[in-house]
Structure 1
């Protein structure tokens, strides 16, 4: 291979471990399934527990606290939680751009400071020191949303290279727009005869539940048996596909979820999941368009394609209109169809159209994260484990393979730098060495492990974990005791062995604390008190 490879990262938003076909789902994702058939699926690839921290690690290769995104994007006086990428930590995009790569991003940014989506007059902060734009972080071309969430039909903070977009045609949908722009950026790189580093960061299937009727119709009536049956079916499919160890048990229904038989509005609940599934299928269709563009430009075989989600399924509930809380105030905005968005999970109206603003809620998120416990924000496996697919035809990654090796999102920057043959300057001067490891040998067929000899760490809003080899220590908050789990025999985290191996608990907890002190990690209460 003489030409430098292209690199394409495709990121879903708040999508659970079992939400695509090649990971046990009933959701129709033929294009992702085709990538998996031609590439490698990793079953133990982990992220940070939430969108901003995962994106910070993905873009830089560092732990999120090392680059100022230990929490979300709200401004904070604590350096590890400042809410925007540190200027003295280079992104992979910057380093590859300097090496001659065309760099582009189409999609959600959410690592560049806070934007109040309902206060358009305050967005002139874009591009200042506390609100770095993608163009200031190595991406020559950018189209996407600077903030975290909003309408798919009239997205707030949509930014096109150097200006906000305020006008939307009636048939606009953000998932389509992001796919189309990615195709255009690929074509431009081909015309310039340059390799590209592309970052396609979909907002789907993050709330709100917004989808086109033709996609919703594919799933209407398919979820009437409920989340309990769905979890069992997905668990069986994951096992049959060889994606789970046969000795692992399905985690029980989350304690905050009621049985489907007790659901007060079963038709409405089934419709919510139908819209969520429609959003995943819509995203998959866009991925198919991007793959077709790569083929049309003769770039497909020499493009390293990486697909993942930023964290597990999201259990967040959107409050009703008029209730106390921030949701209605922030998101109850006019639509591009002459109506006003009504915020909240109200069974009296169906999700999907622009006038609604709903989430699919905890019980369905529990199904999305089958077979694991917990959700986005938690550092249990349900919060940090998502599908991962890698394909690179010219790069020696053979098809239809499964790897159960544990890996972490920090590893992607180290791997991309190895693939592009662009050294990272970390470890010299004041710039820390990258904490991740090169996964390319593993992707190409090495049977070894990556992380048995050193620990990997997590922290988000007092949720914490450390993994060393087969052992994982995890806690939900500062008041709960650490739990110890054997990831080889119990990755669904059902059997706490802390009392059996107190010496391992003490050792791993001490390692975690040293790491936390080095990175400036603080309790959530102290972080909140430091908000600016």
Structure 2
């Protein structure tokens, strides 16, 4: 047990604050190379540590399931999103074979709260056993679904009570920061330590931000994505995040050079709104950190910040939301003042206000994931590499950059070691699957790893295994690629042909893991659901050719 100051009834146990961003790319905050001002996150990193090689699972719901349970997402029932893809696929809701971080810490005497996005059940209007209030959280304020309006979010709920239409000045990211601050301040007079899961929806599309916030970024993106990618990579090199072995991947082959762009003002505006969303996300984190400081809890609180997947390259076809046969975006058909909502990326529609519903698309996602290639959905580095900031002054941690590779199941293992909470063989009379993670506390304290930690990934048939410096990775229905990440973190030189024995060995290890961890074959899922991309999401050309029927979707 770490030696930390005691509070009444705490017995040296630290608080735990996990902040999860949504669709934030690897380079989208200041300390990871961004031009977007994120002073609060940068301060946490500067006074704590940041990880070069931490990985999520390439999609929002699976990442949330893995983060909270210490399992790979396929084991939890949430292998893709919250749709029921059975019997061939996943049920799309947390099952009874997993136990959440909130349940474990609650059993250990912690006060538990969730502020933000849940997205771990398909039952978003009627409580079921997979609601946060029934999976260990004493307090819940947020949304049950994903991908919704920031001004008037569908499924906004407190406890199990749907909340009425939001007031005129409502903005979701700010509201989540305020509620999280309130939760922290409410703990000051309580004896128990607390666990707060702040699951922000920012900066996931739609591109929604108040005009005054967007205005602060006016002109910041006029130079275009080519120059800005180079500038981010230069800052990554200067800060020590990227060493000499890293290279800047080429611009996505589906994206033209900035000086050839039509509608450059509109393109720049897309990224200005996205930057405003990131800045407001940082401000929300700042409110919570200020509350921790004011209540004397910051130094004894383990604070983690990360993202659920890489930058999102999805492009939405233009149209009117109220003309759709259903509402797949969990957004109102009209604004609170009665205006129609224009969905999609239409250069005649300025993104940002409530009546718009747009994404920032392939070229800016390519910027977000600097220096890597690929995006959310894929398990190449651009899809799974995330910032990971750790702040815990009383924890005896090292500072600066930590290089040891880790992934989401390792978060629960670390939190259990830090708090002294135990992981059960069964809970509430049901057996629980063994946790998959390895604690990061030793790495955070500067200890060298004693053995290799093999990492595994699968999403929508996109697959990878990483052990030591080697990463074997493939897109669905394509051949395996092999990369030496010690010299090629950006995955630019495929070494599979030069090392066929290594490819066979790693592929066999991957298949063994997939078979023992509940990974469902992709083809039957596609066949059962008739496959193909959503008609509302425009497919895009990634930096290497793709084959098969897969296409991006909501998450």
TM-score bracket relative to the smaller structure? over 0.9
Equivalent position SS for 1:144: strand
Counterpart CA distance in 2 for 1:191 and 1:530 is 53
Taking the TM superposition and a 5 Å limit, the aligned residue runs for 1:293-304 are 293-304=291-302
Counterpart CA distance in 2 for 1:519 and 1:290 is 36
Counterpart CA distance in 1 for 2:376 and 2:134 is 29
Q: CA RMSD in A?
A: 1.9
1:360 is matched with 360
Counterpart CA distance in 2 for 1:461 and 1:357 is 26
Counterpart CA distance in 2 for 1:183 and 1:137 is 22
**1:481 to 2:479 alignment:** yes
Instruction: Single out whichever of 513-522 and 464-473 deviates more from structure 2.
Output: 513-522
Q: 1:327 to 1:261 in 2, by over 3 A?
A: farther
Taking the TM superposition and a 5 Å limit, the aligned residue runs for 1:446-461 are 446=447, 448-449=448-449, 453-461=452-460
Superposed CA offset, 1:484-528 (max 9, x none): 000111010000000111011000111111111222323333124
Counterpart CA distance in 2 for 1:403 and 1:23 is 13
Equivalent position SS for 1:55: helix
Superposed CA offset, 1:194-248 (max 9, x none): 2001100000000000001121111111101111111111011101110012122
Counterpart CA distance in 2 for 1:263 and 1:21 is 27
2:43 is matched with 34
> What is the Cα deviation at residue 340 of structure 1?
2.3
1:466 is matched with 465
> What is the Cα deviation at residue 298 of structure 1?
1.1
Instruction: Single out whichever of 258-267 and 379-388 deviates more from structure 2.
Output: 258-267
The match for 1:51 among 41, 56, 60 is 60
1:338 is matched with 338
1:140 is matched with 138
**1:350 to 2:350 alignment:** yes
Counterpart CA distance in 2 for 1:412 and 1:4 is 17
Instruction: Single out whichever of 106-115 and 291-300 deviates more from structure 2.
Output: 106-115
> Which structure 1 residue ranges, 4+ long, deviate > 6 Å from structure 2?
323-329
The TM-score, its normalising length taken from structure 1, stands at 0.94
> What is the Cα deviation at residue 182 of structure 1?
0.6
Equivalent position SS for 1:290: helix
Counterpart CA distance in 1 for 2:136 and 2:526 is 31
1:443 is matched with 444
The match for 1:63 among 65, 68, 72 is 72
Q: Is the 8 A contact 2:89 2:525 kept in 1?
A: no
Counterpart CA distance in 2 for 1:155 and 1:240 is 40
2:249 is matched with 251
> What is the Cα deviation at residue 81 of structure 1?
1.3
Equivalent position SS for 1:197: strand
1:4 is matched with 13
Instruction: Single out whichever of 168-177 and 437-446 deviates more from structure 2.
Output: 437-446
Superposed CA offset, 1:326-377 (max 9, x none): 8976546121233222111111121110010000001000000000010000
1:517 is matched with 515
Contiguous gaps of at least 5 residues in structure 1? 116-122
Q: 1:327 to 1:385 in 2, by over 3 A?
A: farther
Counterpart CA distance in 2 for 1:96 and 1:156 is 30
Equivalent position SS for 1:190: coil
> What is the Cα deviation at residue 75 of structure 1?
1.0
Instruction: Single out whichever of 106-115 and 48-57 deviates more from structure 2.
Output: 106-115
1:380 is matched with 380
> What is the Cα deviation at residue 529 of structure 1?
4.1
Equivalent position SS for 2:337: coil
